[in-house]
Every structure is written in structure tokens, then in C-alpha cells.
Amino acid sequence: MIVEYFRPETLVEALDLLSRKGIKTVPLGGGTALNQPSAEQVAAVDLQALGLNQVELHGQTLAVGAMTTLQAILEHPDTPEVLAKVIRYEASYNLRQAATIAGTLMSASGRSPFATLLLAWDALLEMHQAGKEPESVGLGDVLPVRVEALHNRLITKVILGQNVRVGYEYVARTPADLPLVCVSVARWPSGRTRLALGGYGAAPVLAMDGPQADGLEQAARDAYSQAGDEWASADYRREAAATLALRCFQALK
Ligand SMILES: Cc1cc2nc3c(=O)[nH]c(=O)nc-3n(C[C@H](O)[C@H](O)[C@H](O)COP(=O)(O)OP(=O)(O)OC[C@H]3O[C@@H](n4cnc5c(N)ncnc54)[C@H](O)[C@@H]3O)c2cc1C
């Protein structure tokens, strides 16, 4: 439950609030996850006055401000087609108007198509902390340890390389449902290939990051060999992940 609310007008002010002692103080994006009923009392630092809602194409990188809503990204002329497609799978039209890119990544479960895509894409997060130099951290380094990694810190930008082809495939009970299994494959001109899997667990997982695509199917099988829950068995997910990984890679070629 949000028990205190701040709307700072500068980044420095926001960072100072996030680093104060006492009540847990967290950034507020669109508020769609943070506003859910919860026994935990938090102070919210609303970032909407900081101008973090720009999408900018600089040469080979697309820099998306942390407060950019999913709908604004979807509608932006520089947004690659695969990103727009996966945003439609991630959230309904109403939710997309409020949910921000940073809030979505920081609250994503393993069934998030968007976090799976950006994990394969090797998205970089620009992070700020009071009194320290900003740093760029890979989404893959933050996702499994979000609570610790974000303590006192703020994401200001999400950076996506444009010299990479990225694909997405999934299976779900219905086309608009969250995936039982989803895969994203990213391939760089050098041959570097990253494979991320979603549909299960607390966060999507990186199954492979190699100089070539060799072993893609086996990497998918290995990563989801124990991925059983009430939605699908581990046997099903393991084989579906391998099939989808191959399909995704072939579509990229
Ligand atoms: C009706 C409804 C249905 C939903 N359905 C789903 C669903 O099916 N699947 C699903 O995964 N989620 C679902 N959600 C949850 C939620 O909508 C999404 O996770 C959403 O994308 C969160 O984005 P936000 O900007 O609103 O984040 P917020 O609620 O503002 O924040 C979420 C988390 O991210 C942190 N955060 C926000 N901005 C930053 C930043 N710049 N830097 C660091 N940390 C930050 C916050 O402190 C908080 O911990 C649903 C929510 C609603 C209301």
C-alpha cells in the first residue's frame, strides 16, 4: 500500500528520496503493479515530472525513456515491428496506456513476452543512484535479482541495439493469453546468437549466448528440463521450447 507520495521535479531530488532511510521508498512508473493491494507499506516517488518519456534513435541504438508507456512505444515510428507485436501480447490496450517500460520489466513474471524479447535482445538499463556515476547494466544481470539490484536505484533508460535481428514465437491456450512457452532469438551480424525462454517461473531465462547458433535446440531443452507447473508439464515445455527456438531461428534467416 502506498502511504506516502512524492512528485520530484529533478533526477537528483528523486534519487535523494530513493536513498532515504526509514520507510521503503520506491519509484512509481504507471502504478498498475504498485497500486495493487499489498500489506507492505511503501513511499512512492512518481517519476512523471522528470521527462523520462522520450524514444530516440541514435545511429544503431534505440533509447527508450523509463517512463515511456507501452502504447507510446508501440505507436512510435522508430519502433521495430517485432517490438510492437510483442507489446500487443504483453498487455491489453487499457493497461498499455499506463504501464511504463521500466515498470513492466521490473514487475514482469516469467510469463512476460516483453521481458523475454528484451532479454534475448540484450537490452541495457541505464541506472542511477544518488552520489554515483550512472551505469549501464544488462537486463539479464538485473532480472533474477531485481529487488537487490534496484535498491536505492532508478532506471532512466532502456537501450536497444538496432544492428540485430530479433524474433519471437510462442504457444498459449488462446492467441491473446499469456504464453505457456515463449522464445526469443536475437542474432547479430557477427553470428552471435542469444536465446531467451519465457512462460514459466519468476522471470524469463537466458538459455544461450554464443558466437554461433550451434546447440540452440539443446540449450532450450536444457533450460526448461524442469519447468513444470500447474499450466504445463516440464516434458511439454522442454520439447515446445526446442521446437519454437528452431522455428524462431529459421524465421530470422
Ligand atoms: C488489470 C491488470 C492486469 C494485469 N495483468 C498482468 C499480467 O497479466 N501479467 C503481468 O505480468 N502483469 C500484469 N499486471 C501488472 C502490471 O500491469 C505490469 O507489470 C505493468 O507493466 C507495470 O508497469 P507500471 O509502469 O505500471 O509499473 P509500476 O506499478 O509503477 O511499478 C512496478 C515496479 O517497477 C518499479 N519501477 C517502476 N519504474 C521504475 C524505474 N524507472 N526504475 C526502477 N524501478 C521502477 C516499481 O518500483 C515497482 O516495483 C496487471 C495489472 C493490472 C492493473
The reply to whether ligand 1 has any atom less than 6 angstroms from the CB of 112 is yes
Which ligand 1 atom sits nearest the alpha carbon of residue 29? 30
What is residue 198's predicted lDDT score, i.e. its pLDDT?
Answer: 98
Mean pLDDT over each residue of the chain, to the nearest integer: 96
Residue 211: all three cell numbers together? 558466437
CA distances from 182 to 12, 39, 252 (A): 39, 32, 16
**What whole-number distance in Å separates Cα of residue 110 and Cα of residue 228?**
13
Q: Considering just the CA atoms, what is the radius of gyration of the chain in Å?
A: 18
The reply to whether ligand 1 has any atom less than 6 angstroms from the CB of 155 is yes
What is residue 173's predicted lDDT score, i.e. its pLDDT?
Answer: 96
Residue 81 DSSP class: H
What is residue 231's predicted lDDT score, i.e. its pLDDT?
Answer: 95
63-78 per-position pLDDT tens digit: 999 999 999 999 999 9
The reply to whether ligand 1 has any atom less than 6 angstroms from the CB of 33 is yes
Please report which confidence band the pLDDT of residue 253 belongs to, taking 50, 70 and 90 as the band edges: confident
Residue 206 DSSP class: E
215-248 per-position pLDDT tens digit: 999 999 999 999 999 999 999 999 999 999 999 9
Look up residue 41 and give its amino acid.
Answer: Q
Percent share of the chain, pLDDT over 70: 100
What is residue 147's predicted lDDT score, i.e. its pLDDT?
Answer: 85
Q: Does residue 149 carry a pLDDT above 90?
A: no
Residue of 25, 34, 90 best suited for mutating to test ligand 1, as the one with most atoms within 8 Å of CB: 34
Q: Does residue 148 carry a pLDDT above 90?
A: no
What is residue 137's predicted lDDT score, i.e. its pLDDT?
Answer: 96
What angle separates helix 216-223 from helix 234-252, to the nearest 10 degrees? 150
What is residue 109's predicted lDDT score, i.e. its pLDDT?
Answer: 97
Bridge-based pairing of strands 124-129 and 61-65 is: unpaired
253 three-state secondary structure: coil
